[in-house]
Amino acid sequence: MKTILVVDDEVKMLDIYKTLLNAEGYNVIKTADAIDANEILKKEPIDLVLLDLRMPEISGNILFDMLQSFHKNTKVLVSSVFNVEKQKKIVRGASDYYDKSQGVEVLLNKVNSLLQSAL
């Protein structure tokens, strides 16, 4: 079973993502901050990080830079209220980008595509 780490400071979004992704058959670990996410990444094998950009204390782009340095093989799907083009300017080199206004189907297609390519 593939494991997804969801990093988003909005508790409602964490719960929605967990419900959706569990229904797709994924193991989901959720956290509301980048520091906790980094600790989880040190201890757990994570296949995909679903990463929000706007978070208190440490933003998603800083966590992405840490992932690039210490967890290079972990795929990252940036998930933000910013449109995809702006996300690409903020975080260069993510596996994919998701604008939260794109809807659930787009998110699930992107997650499934990224995790299928990891087989």
Cα separation of 50 and 39, whole Å?
16
Residue at token pair 């208190």: 56
Average pLDDT over residues 88-93: 93
Question: Helix/strand/coil (H, E, C) string of the chain?
Answer: CCEEEEECCCHHHHHHHHHHHHHCCCEEEEECCHHHHHHHHHHCCCCEEEECCCCCCCCHHHHHHHHHHHCCCCEEEEEECCCHHHHHHHCCCCCEEEEHHHCHHHHHHHHHHHHHCCC
Give the dihedral of Cα atoms 98, 104, 106, 110; nearest 10 deg.
70
Range of the structural domain that residue 88 is part of: 3-116
pTM of the shown model: 0.91
Residue at token pair 């787009």: 106
Interval 2-61: pLDDT, tens: 999 999 999 999 999 999 999 999 999 999 988 899 999 999 999 999 999 887 777 788
For residue 45, give both structure tokens: 């094998």
Average pLDDT over residues 98-107: 94
| CATH number, position 86 | 3.40.50.2300
Q: What is the domain count for the chain?
A: 1
Residue at token pair 């206004």: 101
